[in-house]
Amino acid sequence: MSDFLYGNPEKLIAGYRIVRNLIRIDFLISLSDFILLYMAEIIKK
């Protein structure tokens, strides 16, 4: 595993960026779902 980390800094950086972007997208999707539910509750009242 350490050979992979030391041998391929470009792959490590690319992997980190992919994971970071996936986390950000997942967060935005869950946030937008929460906002939609919240807006629906306000409209009902």
Q: Which helix (H) or strand (E) holds 45?
A: none
- How far apart CA 34 and CA 37 sit, in angstroms, is 5
pLDDT single digits (tens) 2-44: 665 566 788 888 999 999 999 999 999 999 999 999 999 999 8
Q: pTM for this structure?
A: 0.53
CB within 8 A of 5, min separation 6: which ones? Answer: 12
- For residue 2, the model assigns a pLDDT of 61
